Amino acid sequence: MATNELVLALLRQGPAHGYDLKRDHDAWFPDARPLAFGQVYATLGRLERSGQVEVLETRSEGGPERTVYALTERGEQQLRDWLAEPAGPAASSAEEIVRKTVAALRTGGDAAAFLARQRAAHLRRIRELTATPAGADPAARLARDHLVVHLDADLRWLDLAVERVAVAGRRSDDHAPATSEEAIR
């Protein structure tokens, strides 16, 4: 995950301390795993050493000391370069859902029942995502849309798998020898 660049993007909104960055990140990606504090500070440390962020001030205001970070020109440039590059299309045939489906088919289990259960699980996840309002923030909505569209792509693939299993089933029925009962009749 491009945590470095995400932290740069978060800082692009203005100087902030680690807690602000964590909170903003979690608001940008409400359905993703929350960013751990440890990860925020480790990333800020890395970015500071490479000159992409700088310490603006250290406030204490009675509470624990808080370091406020700001983007440097080098950090701005890195962010621009990152956004100028398209992300690598990442479809993998080794994803869990593909592994399980192929394994279900190869091991001769009840593939149709497996596919039906997987379909229901995906539909329920989409239902959860669309039922909880993402609020008016379009960026939070976008991250959620991405999940929904990918789940939909999985579902279309599952539908195709069901069709292939059904067609294969019909074909093997055609070639199967008649049962003894049919032979007698």
- The footprint of other proteins (CB under 8 A) covers 116, 119-120, 122-124, 126-127, 130, 148, 152, 155-156, 159, 163, 166
Smallest distance from other proteins to CB 93, Å:
21
Greatest pairwise CA separation for the chain in angstroms = 93
Alpha carbons within 13 angstroms on the beta-carbon side of residue 28 total 12
Distances (CA, A) of 52 to 5, 7, 43, 79: 10, 10, 11, 9
Is the Cβ of residue 74 or residue 122 nearer to other proteins in the bound state? 122
Smallest distance from other proteins to CB 30, Å:
17
Is the Cβ of residue 2 or residue 123 nearer to other proteins in the bound state? 123
Smallest distance from other proteins to CB 136, Å:
14
CA distance 16 to 69: 5
Is the Cβ of residue 81 or residue 159 nearer to other proteins in the bound state? 159
Is the Cβ of residue 105 or residue 155 nearer to other proteins in the bound state? 155
Smallest distance from other proteins to CB 123, Å:
5
Is the Cβ of residue 98 or residue 148 nearer to other proteins in the bound state? 148
Smallest distance from other proteins to CB 106, Å:
22
